[in-house]
Amino acid sequence: MRTTRGVGCAALLWVLIAGVTSGAGSDIADSAQRGDGAAVQRLIQQKADVNAAQVDGATALHWAVYRGDDQLLDILLRAGADVKATNREGVTALSMAALYGNAAMLDRLIKAGADAKQLGPNGETMVMLAA
């Protein structure tokens, strides 16, 4: 069981890290990837699609969680970021926050409408990812 979970977590981390070089398809996600909150805010003010995804499906919300950027997460949630958006591997911002053990982000995402009972891309519960 432990080996299977370890392999699943390693695969999920690879999926998340593989997206680091994607950098195409979304100015707002690209700005979030760089940690450029000012650019994200500027793009939101210009009515950019806050849910636009990069080639691998990563959105600005995914990047806010990946970077552990609470301020960016809140900006994106206020702008209407889709908490249920998945990348091409089926990974949501909630599953990333669970995997990273970020309780504050988990709480914010759930309050914004993320499903705490969702399953990860390999059938993992959020509790399994958090463990």
Of 1-5, 35-39, 110-114, which gets the smallest average pLDDT?
1-5
pLDDT, tens only, 43-76: 999 999 999 999 999 999 999 999 999 999 999 9
**Residue 24 CA from chain centroid, whole number:** 16
Give this prediction's pTM: 0.79
Whether the per-residue pLDDT at 24 is higher than 80: the answer is: no
Q: Round the average pLDDT of the chain to a whole number and report it.
A: 86
The answer to whether 12 touches 122, Cβ cutoff 8 Å, is yes
**Residue 25 pLDDT:** 76
CA atoms of 23 and 80, how far apart (whole Å): 22
Q: What are the Cα distances from residue 19, in Å, to 25, 45, 79, 97?
A: 12, 26, 23, 16
* ∠ CA 50-84-119, rounded to 5°: 155
